[in-house]
Structure 1
Amino acid sequence: MENKDSESRRKRMKPDEEEEGAISDSEKAQNEELETFVAGSEEVELAVAHILEKIERFTQLVSELLGSGKAMFQKIGDEFEERMIMVHKEQIEKWQEEIRELRILDASNEEANALLHNARGLLHHAHVDS
């Protein structure tokens, strides 16, 4: 589009055949510079388009990396949560087993204590009776 605009400007700026001989060298040089500038602009626009393509590809790559990183962290987070729940469950089961063992030991000690108490009572009565 820019090329068409500059071309139409050049056509409008071009003098008639009669005035052509009257164009100075500086005007010719300016016209040549304008054509060079237009060609340079096309090159710049191509370079800009190339950079914009790089930006788009990089943005897409970053987006994909963010997505895969997020998915990876979600998976790791889920695995961590499952492992922590399992560790907690195992530890609770160990402590519950300790509680059961302590209660069994306590019940056994209470029975032994009751037997000893009864034995003392019998010995005390037997000693009093004699």
Structure 2
Amino acid sequence: MESETSEPLRKRTKIVEEEETMTEDGAIVEVAEEDPEANPPVSEQMEVYISQILEKIDNFTQQVSELLESGKSFFRDLSTEFEERVIAIHKEQMEKWQEEIKELRFIDASNEDINAVLHNAQLLLHNVNNDP
């Protein structure tokens, strides 16, 4: 296990060498360069601490991944429930309006029948009044 943890450690640990370069205005600036081949000696205790930190990083990354997946799943379920509820509300409202349309048509037909009866009654009254 120690060889597994020390390998990522070596990949993440970088030695920095400073190098002097001259700028356009003649000033000397120290520039840091990474030396990927150099590995500083690390004590066994430090390697244990570092491996514990790397393990914490892996565990935290796993927790974040699981949280993201559960969040995605939760929102998918919530989205599905929301969609189903909105569709049900729409269907209920359409049925109510269809019922209102039927009632209005029934009322209109009844009014037409009543208007026809009243018109016939007016004609009768008019004929009775005009007959001497």
TM over 0.5, shorter chain? yes
57, 66, 71: which is aligned to 2:75? 66
User: Of the two, which has the highest radius of gyration?
Assistant: 1
CA distance in 2, matches of 1:59, 1:98: 58
CA distance in 2, matches of 1:2, 1:67: 38
CA distance in 1, matches of 2:96, 2:57: 57
Structure 1 spans left out of the alignment, 5+ residues:
11-30
The secondary structure found in structure 1 opposite 2:123 is helix
Q: Aligned ranges for residues 50-129 of structure 1 at < 5 Å?
A: 50-122=59-131, 126=132
Percent of pairs identical after alignment? 10
Following TM superposition, the consecutive aligned residue runs of length 4 or more in structure 1 with deviations greater than 4 angstroms are: none
CA distance in 1, matches of 2:115, 2:91: 36
- TM-score, structure 2 length as denominator? 0.69
**Alpha-carbon offset, residue 48 of structure 1:** 1.1
Structure (1 or 2) with the greater helix fraction: 1
Once superposed, what is the RMSD of the aligned Cα atoms?
A: 1.9
Q: Render the CA deviation track for 1:63-94: whole Å, top value 9, x for unaligned.
A: 10111111111111111111111011000111
In structure 2, what is the equivalent of residue 46 of structure 1? 55
**Alpha-carbon offset, residue 35 of structure 1:** 3.0
Structure with bigger RCO (C-alpha 8 Å, 6+ apart):
1
CA distance in 1, matches of 2:50, 2:128: 114
Q: Does 1:3 align with 2:6?
A: yes
Structure (1 or 2) with the greater strand fraction: 2
